[in-house]
Structure 1
Amino acid sequence: MSTSTRLPGVDAVRGKADAGLKTFGAMIVLGIQATVFAIVDILRGRFPWREFLEQAWFMTRVAFLPTILVAIPFGVIVAVQVGAVAEQIGAVSFTGAVNGIGVLRQGAPLVTSLLMAGAVGSAMCAALGSMTVREEVDAMRVMGLNPARRLVAPRIVAAVVVGALLNVVVAVAAMVTGYMLNVGTGKVSSGAYLGSFTSFSQPSDLMLAEGKAMLFGYLATIIACHKGLRASGGPKGVADAVNECVVLSVIVLAVVNVAVTQAYVVLVPQRVA
């Protein structure tokens, strides 16, 4: 097709697609580099554990209170909705299984992913973006230091650990809230609630939840670090990088969650009471 007959907007769409592919490729390269650096440095005893501890404490401090404030209302909503539907269809005795397994497999990892993307990811992107626009990252490169090793690798390891811990906090808070609402209101006995949960749940459910949380923390960190290290244009550039980081993280984590869940359902035999 000649230039004169090309539809309006085709070049713009093609340019955005090319930019998206380049960004995706750059994130993959950054993730591979940082992961390799982290593994090699840990094995050789050269990993910056002090930076890891500082970043882990920073992430915990940023995300812990929002985690509690989100997990409890989330548990209330799930418990109320599940309890109402179970009561309508006469399956109140299975409330514990539906509520507990739903929170464990889907709810807790999703809440964790949103917190990692929104609270932790935005703060991490802003910090690295500020370092980038102040040319501190360029100074590190001049001194022969690789930002992927010095800045990204410790943050990846910290995010994986903190993500797994936050997932436990969300799961426990939401499940305890659901138990208190369903058992405390007299809709179902404590034994029936816990018995249905233990009958249908299995250890792989916990492994799935923890694996999701660690993967979400890893991906959110890669996206945040990439956007932060590519920030330009002063404070406005940092703000734009943070906005792009949060939006992209939420989209990517949602897609990955669907893929991981479907793979789990297909590959792992489900328990039958």
Structure 2
Amino acid sequence: MVLGRIHESFVTAGRILVMGAAVLKFLFTDVLRGRFHWKETVAQAWFVVSVAVVPTLLVAIPFGVIVSIQIGSLAQQLGATSFVGAANGLGVIRQGAPIVVALLMAGAVGSAICSDLGARTIREEIDALEALGISPVQRLVVPRVLAATSVAVLLCGIVAFVGVITGFIFNVTAQGGTPGSYISSFAAFAQPADLVLAELKSALFGILVSLIACYKGLTAQGGPKGVADAVNASVVLSVVLLFAVNVVITELFAVFVPQRLG
């Protein structure tokens, strides 16, 4: 039983990697030949935006407040209120923004993509495409992966900006902080590499979520219940994998990128 599940997990991972390689191949070949489906990509990007932007804003604002409350309280206890801006800003940019994007991409975007492709699969639309000699990966998966990746990068910027501004406003208005101290401490410790790290994480999260969602959707079986099971599996697998990837990238960043000492 356990060995069977382990074997199935490796098979799934291998198939997703194969799909990722096919996406990369089709992306470059279609762009070079001028046959890339830009219209479909833009439509999918707009679909992802419509699904994810409002939840992103609704999550980013309270997230910035929560981080500010916790860090501000701890800083007052330690007598380190002059470093609140650095701790708030770096916490939101390095970890908060990518994690929020990961959760929203997995929960909102991934589930929407998986349910869409799963419905097409059980209606035998995917079989019809293959019968016509059209690759589902080329026609359906590539635009969705590119759209999800692009929007994930934009969402990360939105979350980082809103989270930092929210933390700043809350610290100044509710915690007795000064604007100059907050901004100066943030500027002393923050560096462009922090934002680059967050954006790279979000891009990778977008790729992983869209690949997993597309794979689960294209392999859905058993009617509407099978689609629901595929969506559930897609969300769970995406969340677990994204947090694992986040830990690995964060550790590598801490090892190889020199940190500013103020």
TM-score, normalised to structure 1, is 0.95
CA distance in 2, matches of 1:166, 1:123: 17
CA distance in 1, matches of 2:66, 2:138: 42
Asked if 1:79 corresponds to 2:51, the answer is no
Which residue pairs with 1:211 in the alignment? Answer: 200
Superposition deviation, residue 186 in structure 1 = 5.2
Asked if 1:13 corresponds to 2:6, the answer is no
Which residue pairs with 2:23 in the alignment? Answer: 34
Which residue pairs with 1:184 in the alignment? Answer: 173
CA distance in 2, matches of 1:169, 1:19: 38
Which residue pairs with 1:161 in the alignment? Answer: 150
Which residue pairs with 2:93 in the alignment? Answer: 104
SS of 1:232's partner is: coil
TM-score, normalised to structure 2, is 0.99
Which residue pairs with 2:224 in the alignment? Answer: 235
Which residue pairs with 1:253 in the alignment? Answer: 242
The answer as to whether partners of 1:117 and 1:250 remain within 8 angstroms in 2 is: yes
Which residue pairs with 1:59 in the alignment? Answer: 48
The answer as to whether partners of 1:92 and 1:187 remain within 8 angstroms in 2 is: no
CA distance in 1, matches of 2:24, 2:100: 25
- CA deviation map 1:157-196 (0-9, x unaligned): 1111100001111111111110001012352210110000
Instruction: Give the AA of the match of 2:206.
Output: G
Asked if 1:244 corresponds to 2:233, the answer is yes
CA distance in 2, matches of 1:252, 1:70: 21
Deviating above 2 A after TM superposition, structure 1's stretches of 4 or more consecutive aligned residues are none
Superposition deviation, residue 14 in structure 1 = 1.0
Which residue pairs with 1:118 in the alignment? Answer: 107
Asked if 1:226 corresponds to 2:221, the answer is no
Instruction: Give the AA of the match of 1:15.
Output: G
Superposition deviation, residue 46 in structure 1 = 1.3
Note the residue ranges of structure 1 that are not aligned, 5 or more in a row.
1-11
SS of 2:246's partner is: helix
How many residues of Structure 1 are paired with residues of Structure 2 in the alignment?
A: 262
Q: 1:145 is matched with which residue: 134, 145, 158?
A: 134
CA distance in 1, matches of 2:144, 2:228: 20
Identity %: 53
The answer as to whether partners of 2:72 and 2:175 remain within 8 angstroms in 1 is: no
Instruction: Give the AA of the match of 1:262.
Output: E
Which residue pairs with 1:3 in the alignment? Answer: none
Q: 1:173 is matched with which residue: 152, 155, 162?
A: 162
